[in-house]
Every structure is written in structure tokens, then in C-alpha cells.
Structure 1
């Protein structure tokens, strides 16, 4: 470990401000395009819902439920399992084992495609599942029909997320942004043609959404195959079938870690529907979650940026540079969270009317604005710490932390405050914020106490164990 320690002294500069600017530039070069990519891809489903909303109220409800529950579940699982590549590809790239990136991506394709097959029954049997969660039969039946049509999207997810992590590790995020932007424009035109011009309704919406996700996959693959991605892609290899068991363990840990976070906030909306006045409660919480969802797009960008920076620097044996990157991105994201908090608080009496004409709903949203603003600040730091965990390979540890903080502490407190003590939505949300606060504190402590030299050594061992040396000798 003397080499990393020597590098640590070599990287120390007297001008801390200059170091911060250099690191910020590196982070924004990844985070900026990653944010736009997330927004563009998030907008595909949102635009579909907007178009379908002009077809009929039942159709809108069906598409909304399918997008948020069925496809949302699949999205979380696929994104989570694909996030294992942020650790492996990032560290391999930092270590100079470029050829292994393509092998890792192929391993992830194998695992995610098999996982997609396991998820297909959820799509097929979605009507009884939705009814079990309290949906009416007419909405559940139509959502179930739409879910069957959306099965191709599930397999697009399985290919897309490994591709994106593969490109992110090489900092080729502009490619993803351009492809997603072009597809978004195509999606708007295609949706208008199929849903309105041809009058195909939900069937047209399904074709447009499926085709758009597959265009994203083909566009990114086209770039990789044509450019060979600077030797990171050298064609299909039998090495993809090596070390699959350990790869599956890391993929599952990544999926559990992220899904526990996604589902935690989804539960908030489900519980709101069980309150005394569910229509007002659900409408109000949905407006808040809509705004929160857009801020999450920014958080995803920072999550991607810090996981790439940490994994690259650990793989390269630069532990102190990784540590400094964590500090810079944490301060940057907290600052943006504070800006969002100020905007929410200063416009709390006005912004609800952008989403509703009901004064009763708007009043409820205003009451929730304080909790929303505080959640925005937490959302500035928490995803960054999750990104650090992904970059360092701590997914299993964070999964345990999430279970304890979210479901053993936060959720029970929220149920008590919301139902037992009649604080309603504010009580449920307050309890769940308590879980996020506890998780954030623990992750801050873990990150602060981390031996970054040891993490760099483990990254080197991980690259060797999972085929890096073998690939170079091949």
C-alpha cells in the first residue's frame, strides 16, 4: 500500500480551492449529461400518460398504475441489478483493465435477461395483484391488459441498464444523452400518430413506448459496436460465463439496496389511500411526489457521477482522490438541495395551483410543503452516499442498513403517527423521513470512518478475482 500513499502526497496541492474546481469539473462532466439522460428517459412514460389522458379517464388510470406499479417494480429491479456494473466496470476502468468492461456487461445481460423472465408472471397476473392492493376491477383489468403489451419494455430494461453503466464507467455519458434526446423527440411524434392520428388508443401507446425504449437500446449498442468503445468492447466472449455466482450476489445486493429505497417512498402513496379522506390525501401527496421525482433526476445524476469517480479512483489506486471527490460532490448536492428547499418554501402558497384547481387539495399541499422541502435537502446527500456505496462495492452493507432504518424504524413510526395519533399524511411522511435521516447519519459515519487505502486494495483484488488478469493474458 506504499504506492497509493505516495500518490496521496503527490496529489496534495496547497490551493484547496483550485483542487475543488478541478474535481467539480470532473463531476459535472458526468453528472450533467446523466441528469439530462434521466430526465429524457423519465419523460417517455410521462408523455405517454399525458397523451393517454386525452383518450379517457379509465385509460389514464390504467396506464398510470401500470407505469408506477408494474413497470416501476421492474424498473427498480433492473436498475438495481445493473448498478453492480458501476462497481465492477468503474474499478476495472480505473485499473486499466479496459477489455473486462465488455465482459462484465455481457455477464450483466445474462443475469438481467434471466431476471426479466422471472418478472414476466407479474405482468401476466397483474390484475389480481392490483386488486389485492386495493385497485378497482375495471382499472386492474385494463392495466393488466396494458401490462401484457408492455412486456417488451421489460427486456429493453434488461439490456439498457448494463449498457448505460458500461458507458458511464468510461465517462461516455454524452452518447446516452444524445440518444435519449433523439428518441424522446421520436416518441412524441410516434405517440401522436399512433394514439390520435391512427386512433389506436392504448395499443398505440404501448407500441410507441416499447419502440422508444428499444430505440434507446439499439442506438447505444450501435455506438458501442461501431466504435468498439476504445477497446472496451472486443466482441462476445465465453468469459461472460465465468464467476457468475459472485456476480449474481453483487447484482442482487445492488437490486435490494435500490429497491428498498424506491419502494419506501411508493408505500407513502399507498398508505395515504388508507386515510380518512383518501382522495384529497392521495392528490396532495402525488403532487409532492411529482416535484420530488424531478429532483430525483438530479440526484440520479450525482449518484452516477460519484459512483464513477469513486470506482475509477479506487481501481486506479488513488484512495485520497476518491475521498476528496466524495467531499466535493456531497457539498455540491447539499447546496442544490438547499436551493430546492428555499424555492419550495417561498412558493408554497402558489406552486400547488400549477397542478390542481382545487383549493382544498392546494391547501393540503401547502401544509405538506415543509416536509417536502426538508425531504429535498435530504435527497441532496442521501443519493450521493448511495453512489459512494455503489462505487466502493458496499451494496450488501447498505441493503442491511436500509432494511433497519426504513422498515424497522421509519415505517412503524410513520404508521403510528399517521393512524394511531391521527396526524394523517404529515405523520406518515414524518416517520418515513425519520428513517431516511437515520440512514443518512449511518452512511455519513460509515463513509467518514472508511479506510480508503484498504478500499483501493480491495478494488485491486476484486478486479483480479473477477477476470481482469485472465482477460489481459488471454
Structure 2
């Protein structure tokens, strides 16, 4: 493959102007930043807005009842985040395949990959439904306060339609951002947030529907985005990549399931890690305050993590596109620019958490104990925010390259073999209590960061180019459009894929 690319470059040597542009580091970095932000900015707006609806809902519920707040925190932080992590992970296989197909100009394959992801995600979510129906029983068996467990079980039923909306919004977002058309996602997500805030106020405060009103607002606003994206794709927004429903989506679904499962495990282990703090907090003294305070900190941490997930998506797209094109050097340069960008954002938010740590709690609760506990945890929150800006980038790189299974193993060891046991020891053996748990788990994040840094440094990206080429060749399906298929096959051959 590399010899063919070299021959092609010899036949079409770069101009002096282009060569000088490539050799100018600042210009190259600026060009790469434009490519990154073209994907990342809409993705960040989308994820921050979507998660923001959950944070806004928590704020409304926090002013209704402390028990409802604890129940909402328990199911949203544990149950919904667990399911959401699986769906994001399963959907990230769409990022890998669509990104590499777009880079290789196999545009019609992207629609087939999208349909396969719908099948996989819908089946997966349906299998997970018992978690919502049995939520109060599960939490009581885990030793949580019965009143909080019952409140969590009631809220869990309201989250079922919300999770089904994620199947479509997540997969279509990844499908669109792979071809750099996700500006529509940003618009719809912003619309979702704009609708959600006044609708929550109307249903909760004006009509006095309480908890029910808050959950109705969540579901209505989430389906606004999902339906809007479906209409955009079906009505001509992606003429090259969406050719309508195709029975080819049922072909080679087992390999897609395998890649989706490894992706799901990888992302879920990351997203669910800190959520375990809420579960453990339920065994502490004054569990109601501990759960509420932890959920506030974790939602702030998760909101910032949504920014990192936007950059994670950009990392996936940039790596996948360049692997599809067969350019290993461009992959390595993109990783450097991505990491620099994310670190700059992380350091900024880290400083803000330190400055305003003693005021954050008032946004979510009037309970002085909850506010004080949030203030006590603000330093650990700021450190978590800082490390959030590093390891998700490498996770995105792994998704773009199809290395999800390896990163899933790293996540399992660092988070659940190192971090969680250390946190339990520090929390229950020492006098640190909940702080000890967070310190231990932060140690797992630090270990994860160092391991992924070393792994990416040692990766041979020329070999990853060959692997991506082989994957695209193996799953290629002819386009119903003969002319399109001939053009794609010509590009495949010239790129060394066939």
C-alpha cells in the first residue's frame, strides 16, 4: 500500500507553495484546528445542551423535594448514565466505520452502517429495559434507603422514552459528524435546551405538576432533537451517504456487534466510574445529603466531560478520516493538536472550579448541608475536570482507529482494579470518608491517563492504516448507483485499499 502511495506522489509532486505551507508549523496547526473545531464545536454544543437538560431538571427537582432529588440523582447518575454509556459506546462503532468510509470516499456505505447501528442499539436498549422496571428492587437489594430507592424507581420509568430518543440522536450525530455535517446537530440541540428551560418552568412552577412536569419536559425536549435529525437525514440532508433503507444493513452485522460491544464496554467503563461514588455515598452517614452533594459534583464533572466528548468525537473523526485516506503522518499531527486544545480548555475550567467551588452548590439546592459538602469536594472536582481533558482524547483516537477492545481492558484495570478498591480502602478504613473514595478513584484516572499516553506513543500508525484499509475492503458493499460505485472503486484502488 505504501509503495503505491509513494508512486502516486512521485507522479504528482507537491508544489513549492504547498510544500512551504506544510512545513510551516503554525499554519499546519491552524489548518488542523479548523478541521477539529468544524467537528468538535457542534458536537460540544450538542452534548453540553443535551446533558444540560438533565442538569436543569435536577435543579428544578432540587427545589421540590430532597427525597425526589436524591432519587433522581440515583437513577440519573447510575441507571441512565450506565445505559447512556452503553449506547454512546455502541454507537461509537458508527463513528469508526463511517469516519473511515468517508475518508476512503465510500459514501454510500455510511448509510448502511447507520442502519446497522440502529438495529444494534435498539435491540441493546430493549434488553436493558428490566433495569428501569426493577430499579427500586435493585437499589433496595444494594442497601439504599427505601424511600430514596422508591423515588428512583418512579423516576426510572420516566427515563425510558428519553433513552429511546438517544438511540437515534446519538447514531445520527456520529453519522453526520463523520462527514462534517453536524452543524444541524448543534442547532437542534440548542433548540432542545431553549425549549426545555421554559417548558420545565411552565410545567413545574406554573402548572405545579412537580416531579411529573420536570420529567415530561425532559422527554419532550429530547425527542425534538431526535425527530429533527431523522427528518434532516430522510429529506435530503445527506444525498451521497443516505440512499434509503437497504437490506444490506443486515449483512455482516455480527462483526459490527463485536465492534459495538467493545466500544460500549470502553465508554461505559469511563462514564460509570465516577457514578459509583453516588452508590457508595448511599452507605454513608446522612445518605440523603451525601447522594445529593455527589450528584451535584458529578453532574458538573459530567457537563465538562461533555465538552471533552465533543473533542473525543473530533479525535475519532480526524483519526478515522486520515486512516481512511492512508495518511499516518496526518494522524499523528492531529493527535498533537487535539491534545493541546483539550488541555487548554481543561486548565481553564479547573481554575474556575477552584475559584467558585464554594458557590456552586447554591445552583442546585437550598440545603446548607448539601452546599457545604459540595464546597468541601470542590478541589477534587477541579482535579477530575483537569484529567478529563486528557484521557478522553486518547479514547477518541482509539475509537477512530478501531482499538476499542484494548482501551476497554485498560479502563477495566485502571478504574476497577486500581482506582475503585483504593477508594474503598481510603473511604472506609481511614477518616477521609467520601473524600477518600474520590481520591482513590482519581488515582485510577491518573493511571489511565499515563497508560493511554504510553500506548498512543508506541502505536505504529502505518500499521493502523493497513488495518483500516483491510476493514473497509472486507465490509464493502456495491452502491446501487453504478457511477458512484465506479468512482468509489477507483478511489479505493488508488488508496491501496483494494
Q: How far apart are 1:371 and its partner, in Å?
A: 2.7
8 Å contact 2:324–2:468 — kept in the other structure? yes
- SS of the residue aligned with 1:230? coil
1:364-383 correspondence runs (5 A): 364-383=373-392
Choose from 130, 152, 173 the match for 2:161.
152
User: 1:91-119: CA deviations, max 9, x gaps?
Assistant: 00010000011100000101111111101
User: 1:404-428: CA deviations, max 9, x gaps?
Assistant: 1111111111122222233323322
Distance 2:369 2:204 in 1: 34
TM-score (ref. length: structure 1): 0.92
Distance 1:123 1:356 in 2: 26
Q: How far apart are 1:362 and its partner, in Å?
A: 5.6
User: 1:198-228: CA deviations, max 9, x gaps?
Assistant: 4444444443322322221110011111124
Q: How far apart are 1:78 and its partner, in Å?
A: 1.1
- SS of the residue aligned with 1:232? coil
Match of 1:438 in 2: 447
Q: How far apart are 1:186 and its partner, in Å?
A: 2.6
Return closer, same or farther for 1:448/1:132 CA change in 2, 3 Å cut-off.
same
2:290 aligned with 1:289? no
Moved over 6 A (4+): 6-9, 356-360
Distance 2:401 2:99 in 1: 10
Match of 1:48 in 2: 57
2:312 aligned with 1:308? no
Q: How far apart are 1:358 and its partner, in Å?
A: 6.7
8 Å contact 2:70–2:288 — kept in the other structure? no
Match of 1:22 in 2: 31
Match of 2:200 in 1: 191
Q: How far apart are 1:366 and its partner, in Å?
A: 4.8
User: 1:180-211: CA deviations, max 9, x gaps?
Assistant: 12222233343344445544444444433223
Distance 2:293 2:215 in 1: 29
2:259 aligned with 1:250? yes
- SS of the residue aligned with 1:171? coil
Distance 1:193 1:277 in 2: 33
Choose from 76, 86, 95 the match for 1:86.
95
8 Å contact 2:55–2:299 — kept in the other structure? no
Match of 2:495 in 1: none
2:90 aligned with 1:114? no
8 Å contact 1:92–1:468 — kept in the other structure? no
Is 57-66 or 433-442 further displaced after alignment?
A: 57-66
Unaligned 5+ runs, structure 2: 490-498
Distance 2:24 2:463 in 1: 27
Unaligned 5+ runs, structure 1: none
Q: How far apart are 1:162 and its partner, in Å?
A: 1.2
Q: How far apart are 1:391 and its partner, in Å?
A: 0.6
Return closer, same or farther for 1:119/1:416 CA change in 2, 3 Å cut-off.
same
Return closer, same or farther for 1:133/1:5 CA change in 2, 3 Å cut-off.
farther
1:174-323 correspondence runs (5 A): 174-276=183-285, 278=287, 281-323=290-332
8 Å contact 2:144–2:282 — kept in the other structure? no
Distance 2:465 2:395 in 1: 18
Distance 2:213 2:192 in 1: 16
Match of 1:2 in 2: 3
- SS of the residue aligned with 2:381? helix
Distance 2:236 2:205 in 1: 39
Distance 1:278 1:201 in 2: 23
User: 1:321-370: CA deviations, max 9, x gaps?
Assistant: 11100011101111222222233334455556666667766665555443
